[in-house]
């Protein structure tokens, strides 16, 4: 643990500044991130999930769509016997679902859609939202007014309602069918969510703008872009990281809920297809059978929880790494 | 100044609402299918009935006129003038025939107070859930931050992670199995909502996500504040730790939490869909979700507008509170 | 870790930890769970009115109140006899009202409010004679004019009920229904015609009645556009239930949503109705038949997992049994005794757009039928809650042919049949896309079927899940009808006419949507529909079905079953294949509760 006690860290940080040449914000942050063990664990876990889900055909023990007749509702190997007296089969480590497909393989394949649904829209939202929030907050005046009024409109839309409306309307179009509906889902998620980020960033900027160190930078003739990138952006990172660490699972769950309502991703029946299942989809199927086959629900749920935990660790690590006062 | 600010923001709501109404109207009419395409297993409504229904609901009129009829008003099929949304009439529901949208959402059963209406139920549950989320989330976040990297901190992290990664429909059944089936503290299926105990599980299920988010936000915001110069200064001045934490830290650390309060409440008010189907809770959440798949046009418009008003009001009050909490932010 | 109890133990542990965290804070919730007593008994509520909670009635002196607690599922959109169409809606109406005729537990049409009925010689006029001294539950008289009002209201274009077409057999009904009410003259003229054709008379058979209070007004005659020997059955369904005109007027457009206006003549009275929470029905002392023995309480919990847990906790007496819970129930010696599984009058079939390749070729349809492993489906997907079928009319409905064995599962024959088609082989087939309304359950179904056809026929099927409402709208018209869908049909009334003429005759909405038209079948059905001799009529329908299966416009797939869990203390349940809400709903007045078995 690099940060055992708050006061101690503070001291050592000051010593470091005296002891070595000033490095750029990013290299410095990366260096500090490397020393944060939990964040590294999180990173490794995310990488692990990415690798196994993208290399699914090599790793999954069974084809994810294959129905094994008479093998339905098998419990996981470590449970040995299910409540209803069905014996586990060592070939199916996490058991089988209600029609006899291997749960483990389906979860491995499901990681693809879920990891992407979590990561891509959040990245896009962060970029759009942060840019608009920074401009709005820093520039002020009519720019701020215009952008904030625009966010008012988007913000006032009920988000779930908007996802559903957009998905239903565009689902059968060419765009809606691309990548098994992934692009449309990304679009729907991004259109609604950038506003939250923009407002968050703007309010941070407003608070920071008045602080002494910005005035100081301005007085020594620093350019606007330099002030924004070097001084304001790092200060807005901490709430953004928390937001991102929370939004990724939210996106994964929104996908699950949409699947539950009947407008989730399109599934494919070809074993070579890329998006075959998603964790959200597996969870909504599993919920109905919680009493007799809890493993169908719990396996994808645990994966989602692990991914979320990893992102939280990474998020915490990043926040500490970018905190200018910890340098 | 504040009054003028509020008045200006309130006026701005009008173009926002119109814009939202237009977008919703266009999108929902672009969506394939109509209000009478119900269950595929059922026989389709026959052509004559379909025509009668469309006439009764004015769907035989051109689209622009349907829109103005909804927003402003029009003559109904009997030739009488009926006000639209501007007169507080959100239109007849296509699905629950014989009821208007405002009746469905806001009207209590005969002889009951407003709190017994669907909206009233949702408000009660939403406020309870928000209260729970705050009263658990804020202290846990604060404690986790103060005890950073101790087991308490890890526990809070673990639980908040569960909170965001488990969907409502899963959390609900877990809590039911624990409290109702195993511990037998409450009935599984509430028979009446007059018994306060049956509110526990639904409000917890609803609150959990917000609670977790609040705790995380509070923790990170506290950690941020703890590193500020003025906190160090306060400590250096020899102020008591309690005083430092409550006066200097909490007040500043609460700002981001206040920002999410309004939208969170609005979200909790309409986000009870899963709870409603699990516990037979008579709230308004299902109308938000089902109106679209039912193609219940006036219900879609009505719920969208109501939500928009809620959000605008919530944001406005957040801005006002924000200004009070943080004097550095001047309300223009 | 062996079983779910252990799994849930872990989950519980995590949750308890979270609760501990809660407990650290000064006040967890205004309604802290920990204060509750560790019993299942609900605390007596502060309400002055005694809520009927059987387990909360500790007194031994009074007889225990008998309440049958049923989870009905989702709250109905409408409970108006002339505007309802859903099973759940009808499940409410059936308790409150009774039609002119009704169905016994063998689904035979038997006297209801009418003690008898007769047709004229060519079955173009139907005369009902009502029972003497009929009363509504509030004691007011019920006469033939009430039924006339209901039938007229069902036809009225201003009502626009979804089952209004079903009374089109009445002379002039279709014309009135299609008239434009804004054109007052045309509307009134069309109405006057129907008004003359549905007439209420005094017992002398000639004097037209003029008052709802006239107890002598017991004759109702209905003139029909063509011979319709099954019209007495049609008028027994919910569309002709005698809701009171003055209540509908006074209650306004949503009169149906309040127990005040729902005054009926059925075995039960709707005592309280709390929308989306529960409804309470009590026996109607004025019912002409055997009086009901228990109160009925409907709850509206949609989530089947919760409903199942509530049943296990003795909070419901009857709940639906989902296939997901079947294994748990079957392996439990006590629960398996409480299972009630019996046929349901619903047939599911793979249906095709007969204008699109490749299913316009009968050989391809037959090959698909023979490649469909129905038994495996019944076992894997339906978990035993359903059986494969090779025919259209389900068991329990007259005209069912249980001996049908054409196009049964035989992968080799299927491949041979495919070779007979114009495509010659699997490689020659165009792309096949199956379209369905997206839901977790439908996904599992279709993923299974895609696997089945790949395995047994070597055909790759592309799945196309779409929004359920979009799906329904696509199935309306041939131009948008997808290539391949799964669709079911359930009885409106137990008569082969409802299965064959209503569905497969080329003039029906459905046959039009898949572009099915067989003039020979049409002629046979038209003949059967007007045949007066029951045996000859049944024979014609059987021949028609035979013809249908030979041509196989759809791959007959499976019949669903009704599956419920019923507590051992519930007695007197008489099931029918048309039950939808709870077992025994067609004879709910016979159901009783054996209080000696109550826990």
Cβ separation B170–A297 shorter than 8 A: yes
How close, in Å, is residue B48 to chain C by CA atoms? 6
A301 at interface of C, judged by CB pairs closer than 8 A:
no
Confidence of residue C30 (pLDDT cuts 50, 70, 90): very low
Residues of A (119-178) whose Cβ lies below 8 Å from B: 149, 152-153, 155-158, 160-161, 164-166, 168-169, 172
- Between strands C67-71 and C295-299, the pairing is parallel
C339, pLDDT greater than 70 = yes
**Residue pair C431/C462 in contact by the 8 Å Cβ criterion:** yes
The pLDDT, as a whole number, for residue C392 is 94
**Residue pair B220/A320 in contact by the 8 Å Cβ criterion:** no
Mutation pick from A149, A161, A193, A261 vs chain B, by most beta carbons of B within 10 Å, is A161
Q: What digits encode the pLDDT tens for the residues B240-269?
A: 777 777 777 888 888 878 877 877 888 888
Q: What digits encode the pLDDT tens for the residues C495-521?
A: 899 999 989 999 888 888 899 999 999
Distance separating alpha carbons of residues B194 and C435, to the nearest angstrom: 46
Alpha helices in C124-179 (DSSP H): 144-155, 173-178
Alpha helices in A173-278 (DSSP H): 174-177, 182-209, 212-219, 224-226, 233-261
Touching subunits of C (3+ CB pairs, under 8 Å) are: A, B
A115, pLDDT greater than 80 = yes
β-bridge mates for residue C68, sequence order: C296
Confidence of residue A281 (pLDDT cuts 50, 70, 90): confident
For chain A, first and last CA: distance in Å?
Answer: 16
Distance separating alpha carbons of residues C146 and C72, to the nearest angstrom: 29
Cβ separation A172–C383 shorter than 8 A: no
**Half-sphere exposure at residue C293, Cβ-oriented, CA atoms within 13 angstroms:** 14
C18, pLDDT greater than 90 = no
Tell me the range of A14-18, C42-46, C381-385, C456-460 where mean pLDDT is highest. Answer: C456-460
A290 at interface of C, judged by CB pairs closer than 8 A:
yes
User: Within its chain, how far is the Cα of C328 from the centroid?
Assistant: 27
Over residues A261-272, the mean pLDDT reads: 68
Distance separating alpha carbons of residues C200 and C218, to the nearest angstrom: 7
Residues of A (230-249) whose Cβ lies below 8 Å from B: 238-239, 241-242, 245-246, 249
Cβ separation A301–B165 shorter than 8 A: yes
How close, in Å, is residue B126 to chain C by CA atoms? 13
Helix, strand or coil for residue A144? Answer: helix
Residues of B (58-117) whose Cβ lies below 8 Å from A: none
Q: What digits encode the pLDDT tens for the residues B8-56?
A: 877 888 888 888 899 899 988 888 888 887 665 556 677 888 888 888 8
What's the whole-number average pLDDT of chain C? 85
More confident residue, C589 or B88: C589
Confidence of residue C49 (pLDDT cuts 50, 70, 90): very low
> Which of C376, C404, C407, C380 lies closest to C392, judged by CA?
C404
C288, pLDDT greater than 50 = yes
Cβ separation C467–A168 shorter than 8 A: yes
C402, pLDDT greater than 70 = yes
Task: Tell me the residue range of the domain where A242 lies.
Answer: 38-326
More confident residue, C526 or B323: C526
C51 at interface of B, judged by CB pairs closer than 8 A:
yes
Percent with pLDDT over 90 in chain C: 53
| Domain C344-560 homologous superfamily, CATH | Dipeptide-binding Protein; Domain 3 (3.10.105.10)
Q: Which of A169, A253, A307 sits opposite B27 (nearest CB)?
A: A169
The model carries a pTM of: 0.81
What ipTM was assigned to the predicted interfaces of this complex? 0.84
> Which of C561, C394, C389 lies closest to C489, judged by CA?
C394
Q: Which of A153, A261, A304 sits opposite B20 (nearest CB)?
A: A153
**Residue pair B145/A6 in contact by the 8 Å Cβ criterion:** no
C5, pLDDT greater than 50 = no
Q: Which helix (H) or strand (E) element contains residue C88? A: helix C87-96
Q: What digits encode the pLDDT tens for the residues B132-156?
A: 999 999 999 999 988 888 888 888 8
β-bridge mates for residue C563, sequence order: C341
C195 at interface of A, judged by CB pairs closer than 8 A:
no
C182 at interface of B, judged by CB pairs closer than 8 A:
yes
C23, pLDDT greater than 50 = no
How close, in Å, is residue C10 to chain A by CA atoms? 11
Confidence of residue C16 (pLDDT cuts 50, 70, 90): very low
How close, in Å, is residue B79 to chain A by CA atoms? 33
A305 at interface of C, judged by CB pairs closer than 8 A:
no
Distance separating alpha carbons of residues C212 and C242, to the nearest angstrom: 12
Scanning every residue of chain C, which has its alpha carbon at the shortest distance from the alpha carbon of A71? C380
A142: how many CB neighbours lie within 10 A of its CB? 8
User: C54-76 as b/e, with b when 16 or more CB fall inside 10 Å?
Assistant: bbeeeeeeeeeebbbbbbbbebb
Over residues C292-303, the mean pLDDT reads: 92
**Residues in chain A within 8 Å Cβ distance of B217:** 239, 242
> Which of C257, C241, C164, C152 lies closest to B97, judged by CA?
C257
The pLDDT, as a whole number, for residue C340 is 93
C180, pLDDT greater than 90 = no
Give me the CATH code for the C9-35+62-77+256-340+562-597 domain, please.
3.40.190.10
The pLDDT, as a whole number, for residue C33 is 32
C13, pLDDT greater than 60 = no
Backbone angles phi, psi at C309, to 5 degrees: -60, -40
Mutation pick from C386, C440, C466 vs chain A, by most beta carbons of A within 10 Å, is C440
Cβ separation A305–B161 shorter than 8 A: yes
The pLDDT, as a whole number, for residue C37 is 32
**Residues in chain B within 8 Å Cβ distance of C507:** none
Cβ separation C465–A266 shorter than 8 A: yes
**Residues in chain B within 8 Å Cβ distance of C80:** 97-98
A214, pLDDT greater than 90 = no
Length of chain C as a residue count: 599
Task: Report DSSP state, residue C477.
Answer: S
Domain residues of chain C, as ranges? 9-35+62-77+256-340+562-597, 98-242, 344-560
A96, pLDDT greater than 90 = no
How close, in Å, is residue C411 to chain A by CA atoms? 16
C454: how many CB neighbours lie within 10 A of its CB? 19
Alpha carbon distances (Å) from A67 to A305, C450, C451, C519: 28, 10, 7, 42
Q: Which of B39, B135, B278 sits opposite C301 (nearest CB)?
A: B278
The pLDDT, as a whole number, for residue C220 is 95
Confidence of residue A324 (pLDDT cuts 50, 70, 90): low
A260 at interface of C, judged by CB pairs closer than 8 A:
yes
Q: What digits encode the pLDDT tens for the residues C99-135?
A: 999 998 888 899 999 999 999 988 899 999 999 999 9
Distance separating alpha carbons of residues A174 and C538, to the nearest angstrom: 50
How close, in Å, is residue A70 to chain C by CA atoms? 7
B146 at interface of A, judged by CB pairs closer than 8 A:
no
Helix, strand or coil for residue C386? Answer: strand
Positive or negative, the Cα torsion across B263, B269, B272, B275? positive
CATH architecture of B118-325: Orthogonal Bundle (1.10)
Distance separating alpha carbons of residues C453 and A67, to the nearest angstrom: 12
Topology of the domain covering C98-242: Dipeptide-binding Protein; domain 1 (3.90.76)
How close, in Å, is residue A9 to chain C by CA atoms? 29
B183: how many CB neighbours lie within 10 A of its CB? 15
How close, in Å, is residue B80 to chain A by CA atoms? 32
**Residues in chain C within 8 Å Cβ distance of A78:** 1
What CATH number is associated with residue A114?
1.10.3720.10
**Residues in chain C within 8 Å Cβ distance of B180:** 309, 313
Backbone angles phi, psi at B75, to 5 degrees: -85, 130
Positive or negative, the Cα torsion across A70, A76, A79, A84? negative
């Amino acid at each position: 643990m690099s940060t055992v006690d708050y006061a101690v860290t503070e001291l050592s940080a000051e010593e470091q500044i005296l002891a070595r040449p000033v490095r750029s914000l990013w290299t410095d942050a990366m260096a500090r991130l490397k020393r944060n063990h939990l964040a590294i664990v999180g990173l490794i876990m995310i990488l692990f999930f990415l690798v196994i889900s993208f290399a699914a055909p090599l790793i999954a023990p069974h084809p994810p769509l294959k129905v094994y007749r008479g093998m339905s509702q098998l419990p996981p190997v470590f449970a040995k016997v299910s409540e209803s007296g069905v014996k586990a089969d060592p070939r199916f480590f996490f058991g089988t679902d209600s029609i006899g497909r291997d749960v483990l393989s389906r979860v491995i394949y499901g990681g693809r859609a879920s990891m992407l649904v979590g990561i891509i829209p959040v990245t896009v939202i962060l970029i759009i939202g942060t840019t608009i929030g920074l401009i709005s907050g820093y520039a002020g005046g009519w720019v701020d007014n215009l952008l904030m009024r625009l966010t008012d409109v988007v913000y006032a839309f009920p988000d779930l309602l908007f996802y559903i409306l957009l998905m239903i309307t565009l689902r059968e179009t060419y765009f809606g069918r691309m990548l098994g509906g992934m692009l449309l889902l990304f679009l729907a998620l991004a259109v609604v969510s950038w506003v939250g980020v923009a407002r968050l960033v703007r309010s941070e900027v407003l608070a920071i703008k008045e602080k002494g160190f910005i005035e100081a930078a301005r007085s020594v003739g620093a350019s606007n872009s330099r002030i924004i990138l070097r001084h304001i952006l790092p200060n807005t990172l901490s709430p953004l990281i928390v937001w991102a660490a929370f939004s990724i699972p939210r996106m994964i769950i929104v996908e699950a809920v949409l699947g539950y309502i009947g407008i989730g991703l399109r599934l494919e029946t070809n074993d070579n297809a890329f998006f075959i299942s998603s964790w959200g989809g597996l969870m909504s199927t599993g919920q109905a059978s919680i009493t007799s086959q809890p493993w169908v629900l719990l396996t994808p749920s645990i994966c989602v929880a692990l991914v979320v935990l990893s992102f939280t660790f990474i998020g915490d690590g990043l926040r500490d790494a970018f905190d200018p006062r910890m340098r | 100044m504040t009054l003028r600010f509020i008045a200006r923001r309130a006026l701005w709501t009008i173009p926002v609402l119109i814009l939202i109404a237009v977008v919703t109207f266009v999108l929902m009419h672009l969506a394939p299918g109509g209000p009478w395409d119900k269950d595929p297993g059922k026989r389709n409504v026959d052509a004559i009935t379909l025509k009668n229904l469309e006439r009764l609901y004015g769907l035989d009129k051109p689209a622009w006129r349907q829109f103005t009829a909804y927003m402003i008003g029009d003559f109904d099929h009997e030739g009488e003038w009926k006000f639209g949304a501007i007169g507080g009439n959100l239109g007849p529901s296509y699905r629950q025939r014989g009821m208007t949208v405002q009746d469905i959402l806001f009207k209590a059963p005969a002889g009951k107070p407003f709190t017994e209406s669907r909206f009233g139920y949702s408000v009660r549950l939403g406020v309870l859930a928000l209260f729970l989320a705050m009263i658990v989330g804020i202290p846990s976040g604060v404690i986790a931050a103060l005890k950073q990297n101790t087991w308490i901190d890890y526990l809070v992290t673990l639980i908040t992670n569960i909170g965001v990664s488990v969907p409502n429909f899963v959390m609900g059944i877990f809590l039911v199995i624990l409290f109702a089936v195993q511990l037998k503290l409450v009935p599984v299926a509430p028979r009446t909502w007059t018994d306060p105990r049956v509110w526990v599980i639904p409000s917890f299920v609803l609150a959990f996500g917000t609670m977790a988010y609040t705790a995380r936000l509070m923790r990170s915001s506290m950690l941020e504040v703890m590193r500020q110069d003025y906190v160090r200064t306060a400590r250096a001045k020899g102020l008591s730790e309690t005083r430092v934490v409550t006066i200097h830290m909490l007040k500043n650390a609460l700002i981001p939490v206040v920002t999410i309060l309004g939208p969170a409440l609005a979200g909790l008010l309409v986000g009870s869909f899963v709870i409603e189907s699990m516990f037979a809770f008579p709230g308004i959440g299902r109308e938000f979700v089902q109106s679209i798949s039912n193609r219940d046009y006036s219900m879609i418009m009505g719920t969208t507008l109501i939500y928009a008003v809620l959000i605008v009001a919530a944001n406005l009050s957040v801005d006002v509170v924000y200004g009070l909490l943080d004097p550095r932010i001047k309300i223009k | 870790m062996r079983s779910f109890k252990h799994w849930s133990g872990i989950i519980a542990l995590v949750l308890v930890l979270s609760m501990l965290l809660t407990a650290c804070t000064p006040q967890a919730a205004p309604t802290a769970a920990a204060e509750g007593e560790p019993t299942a008994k609900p605390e007596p509520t502060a309400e002055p009115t005694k809520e009927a909670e059987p387990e909360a009635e500790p007194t031994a002196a009074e007889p225990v109140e008998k309440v049958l607690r049923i989870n009905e599922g989702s709250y109905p959109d409408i409970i108006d006899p002339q505007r309802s169409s859903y099973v759940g809606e009808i499940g409410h109406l059936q308790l409150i009202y009774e039609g002119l005729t009704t169905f016994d537990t063998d689904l035979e049409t038997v006297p209801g409010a009418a003690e008898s009925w007769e047709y004229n010689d060519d079955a173009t006029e139907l005369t009902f004679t009502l029972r003497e001294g009929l009363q509504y539950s509030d004691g007011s008289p019920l006469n033939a004019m009430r039924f006339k009002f209901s039938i007229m209201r069902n036809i009225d274009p201003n009502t626009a009920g979804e089952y209004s077409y079903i009374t089109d057999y009445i002379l002039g009904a279709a014309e009135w229904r299609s008239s434009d009410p804004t054109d007052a003259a045309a509307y009134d003229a069309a109405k006057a015609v129907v008004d003359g054709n549905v007439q209420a008379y005094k017992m002398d058979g000639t004097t037209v009645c003029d008052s709802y209070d006239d107890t002598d007004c017991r004759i109702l005659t209905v003139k029909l556009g063509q011979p319709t020997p099954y019209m007495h059955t049609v008028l027994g369904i919910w569309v002709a239930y005698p809701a009171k005109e003055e209540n509908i007027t006074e209650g306004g457009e949503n009169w149906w949503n309040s127990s005040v206006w729902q005054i009926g003549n059925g075995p039960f009275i709707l005592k309280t109705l709390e929308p989306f929470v529960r409804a309470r029905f009590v026996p109607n002392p004025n019912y002409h038949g055997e009086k009901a023995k228990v109160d009925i309480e409907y709850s509206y919990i949609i989530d089947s997992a919760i409903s199942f847990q509530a049943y296990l906790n003795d909070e419901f007496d009857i709940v639906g049994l989902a296939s997901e819970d079947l294994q748990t129930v079957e392996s439990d010696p006590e629960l398996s005794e409480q299972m009630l599984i019996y046929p349901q009058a619903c047939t599911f079939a793979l249906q095709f757009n007969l204008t699109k390749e490749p299913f316009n070729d009968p050989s391809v349809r037959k090959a698909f039928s023979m490649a469909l492993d129905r038994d495996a489906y019944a076992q894997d997907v339906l978990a035993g809650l359903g059986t494969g079928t090779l025919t259209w009319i389900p068991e329990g409905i007259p005209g069912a042919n249980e001996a049908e064995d054409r196009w049964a599962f035989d992968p080799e024959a299927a491949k041979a049949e495919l070779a007979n088609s114009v495509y010659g082989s699997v490689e020659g087939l165009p792309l096949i896309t199956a379209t369905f309304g997206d839901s977790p359950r439908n996904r599992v179904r279709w993923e299974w079927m895609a696997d089945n056809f790949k395995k047994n026929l070597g055909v790759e099927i592309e799945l196309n899940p779409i929004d359920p409402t979009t799906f329904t709208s696509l199935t309306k018209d041939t131009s948008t009808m997808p290539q391949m869908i799964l669709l079911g049909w359930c009885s409106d009334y137990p008569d082969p006419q409802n299965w064959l003429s209503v569905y497969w005759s080329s003039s029906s909405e459905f046959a039009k949507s898949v572009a099915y038209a067989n003039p020979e079948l049409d002629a046979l059905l038209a003949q059967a529909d007007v045949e007066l001799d029951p045996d000859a009529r049944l024979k014609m329908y059987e021949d028609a079905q035979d013809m249908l299966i030979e041509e196989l416009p759809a791959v007959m797939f499976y019949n669903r079953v009704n599956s419920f869990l019923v507590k051992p203390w519930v007695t007197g349940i008489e099931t029918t294949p048309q039950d939808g809400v709870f077992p025994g709903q067609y004879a709910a007045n016979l159901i009783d509760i054996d209080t000696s078995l109550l826990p």
